[in-house]
Chain A
Amino acid sequence: MSDETNKGLLSPLRRKLLMGMAAIPAVTMLPRASFAQAPATSAVNTTGLAVTDTEVTVGILHSATGTMAISETGSIEAEKLAIEQINAAGGVLGRKIKFIQEDGASDWPTFAEKAKKLLVNDKVAAIMGCWTSASRKAVLPVVEQYNGMLYYPTFYEGLEQSKNVIYTGQEATQQILAGLNWIAKEKGAKSFFFIGSDYIWPRTSNKIARKHVENVLKGKVVGEEYYPLGNTQFNSVINKIKLTKPDVIFTDVVGGSNVAFYKQLKAAGIDLSKQALLTISVTEDEIDGIGGENIAGAYACMKYFQSLDNANNKAFVPAFKKMWGEKTVIGDVTQAAYLGPWLWKLTVEKAGSFDVDKIAAASPGVEFKGAPEGYVRIHENHHLWSKTRVGRAKLDGQFELIYETADLVEPDPFPKGYQ
């Protein structure tokens, strides 16, 4: 699906290949025709990464155990699928991708330790990994110190930018502002009730949302509530929502709390087909646990839904289900995780090298036309240009696309006027 992009990028590599006489014996040993283009290892790897004439090693670093395994399993699956597809299409610079999977075990120091292991002992060329902001913050100093490359899939609060990280999910303004604009216009919404889990992402996101509601939309925030992670009782806040009668309930509750919140909302007689609710934390993955009947009618603001109707997605969804089972669902982050290996491959080919410095420099402007969400491009600030979409949850646990921005939304990790 990305052949067009590759041809142009590969030609300088061919020249390098001709210069590298050392590569010729290795090339003749390779069984597949597509691998005949492989440039010499010494030319594409000057910093001692785990790159051989036939293989390149990357790391996958997610929580396969512990409380975050619920969310991160999808990311692991997506990354493995992408790697398999890239290998089937001839690999990267003629080399097959081999991956080493480490378990962050939902524990942030473990993430840092495993990242160090991947970079120092295994010398991986890139790491696809992390999920929560906490794990990313733990890994960030490690990838910066040892000059690694991290592809981070989750939508997050922004306020960060690093030479060593490519953020394949949306930062907060990208995700939130378009959704708020849409609901304000479409529903004439003036009053908002915010409810979130009590940690950095919901608090930062709600801060941005509040500024936007008050300053741009000229609306009113009638309540802003935070509950500890893992809270399972929401009856009091639901009563407050009933009392304040907001036009829109805006939520960023995460984890097991999410399930409790929607079940209790439904039980309290709040009908989401009448009461508008906009969430930035519920993907198809979460609905699996919540139950479609409890959340049908709610709006979610994301960049990807499994139900998207485009050629890339129509190839991606069946491939994913074929590899991981018919019942698996694909949420926003899973799709963003799928972009990681592909963007890395395209960047390596553009740079003509596995060297991290060259990849970091070559990243801005890299386009991936085969993205299931449509077209994405890496911005100067290492985030992605991508469209923002609003979907409406259906009984069967899928979203129906209601709205999408006409153009790609520019990533703005340090938004002026929103801090």
Chain B
Amino acid sequence: MFGDYSLGDLGSIFVMQGFAGLILFSVYVLMALGLAIIFGQMGVINMAHGEFMILGAYVTWMTSNFFQAYLPSLFSGYFFLAMILAFVASGALGMLVEWVLIRHLYKRPLDTLLATWGLSLMLQQAYRSVFGAREVGVELPQWMLGSLHVTDSIEVPINGVFVMCLTVLITISVAYVMYKSRWGRQVRAVVQNRIMAGAVGINTEKVDRYTYGLGCGIAGVAGSAFTMIGSTGPTSGQLYIVDTFLVVVFGGAASLLGTIASAFSISQTQSTLEFFMSGSMAKVLTLLAVVGILMLRPQGLFALKVRK
């Protein structure tokens, strides 16, 4: 297939294809991080993850409308405020959900699957009633549109670069919070042994609530960022949920590093295959590879060593 093209053309396409892979990688990490905390650390199978993301997207949409109507001069910077608001909104809803629903189910993790699936349906219908069934268009400030011209034939999408930077930032923050802070130690202690953690004086209920809130909040930020590259509608969250679980499960549920490694391998495979064959076939082959590897390593790429 390359016979007809000049070397220069091919070179720049490989560079751009490399960027495409990196962007896909960032998107996967961003959507999986929240779930890696909720599912990976807490064991809650959160089927409503996509809906928390979409809440973030709707918050972004509302912020954008607000700025257009009342503060048009500050419009170019609204996106940063929107992401913070998205984090707060999704995080708050997450903590509420944890208090009402999830905390009663920690001893029955499989039931969280059904409960959160029901929750996702309720949230979808709520979005439909509040925001309407049609998709909404989130208007972006001018500087976030378009691409950077690196050379004549190499162009890098600005929103892709934005997502990459955001992903790096959030990943570092999450890693710091989980592995360096006192609170992160408490979270990991609760995950490993809830009863002992309680016995040494950790308020496990509070830790649970904030952990769940943090996971949902990150989902909200991801949803906010994805308004740049995807759609915002009541059921848009469903577009992400399968890929999200795929990344987290493949990486090994309890490992942050695993999530990143898995996002990297899946995104690179996917994006390379997509270039050489049709999108649907690429997806099929990627899934087959994942299934194959999970059969050999059921615990995922990286797993915490646990005494059995």
- Residues of A whose CB lies within 8 Å of any CB of B are 64-67, 69-70, 73-74, 198, 224-228, 230-233, 235-240, 242-243, 255-260, 263-264, 266-269, 285-293
Contacts and interface: CB of A to CB of B under 8 A. Distances in A.
Given A226-B278, A291-B137, A256 B16 contact: no
22 contacts: A69-B133, A70-B134, A70-B233, A73-B132, A198-B279, A224-B278, A225-B278, A226-B280, A228-B279, A231-B239, A232-B229, A235-B20, A236-B274, A236-B282, A239-B17, A243-B9, A256-B233, A259-B231, A260-B230, A267-B145, A269-B149, A291-B137
Contact of B158 (A242, A267, A289): A267
B232 interface: yes
B148 to A, nearest CB: 9
Contacts of A224: 278
A198 B136 CA distance: 24
A197 to B, nearest CB: 9
B171 interface: no
Contacts of B283: 228, 231
B8 to A, nearest CB: 12
Given A235-B271, A267-B147, A269-B155, A64 B230 contact: no
A251 B149 CA distance: 26
B279 A70 contact: no
- The number of chain B residues touching the other chain, given as a range, is 35 or more
Please report whether the interface of chain A is mostly helix, strand, loop or mixed according to DSSP.
helix
Interface in B230-250: 230-236, 238-240
B274 A228 contact: no
Given A70-B235, A232-B240, A235-B160, A289 B134 contact: yes
Nearest to A267: B157
A70 B134 CA distance: 4
Nearest to B155: A269
B256 interface: no
B233 A239 contact: no
B137 A288 contact: yes
B106 interface: no
A288 B135 contact: yes
B233 A289 contact: yes
B138 interface: yes
A64 B19 CA distance: 40
B159 interface: yes
A285 B231 CA distance: 13
A213 B54 CA distance: 40
Interface string B1-44: 00001000110010011011001100100000000000000000
A170 B125 CA distance: 32
Contacts of B160: 235, 267
Contact of A240 (B27, B233, B275): B275
Nearest to A195: B279
Interface in B147-190: 147, 149, 153, 155, 157-160
Given A227-B280, A267-B229, A289-B232, A236 B20 contact: yes
Given A236-B274, A267-B145, A73 B133 contact: yes
Given A69-B128, A227-B280, A64 B146 contact: no
Given A64-B133, A266-B146, A269-B155, A228 B229 contact: no
Contacts of A243: 5, 9-10, 13
B217 to A, nearest CB: 21
B253 interface: no
Nearest to A63: B133
Given A69-B133, A235-B160, A266-B146, 4 more contacts: A70-B133, A231-B283, A232-B229, A287-B137
A260 B137 CA distance: 11
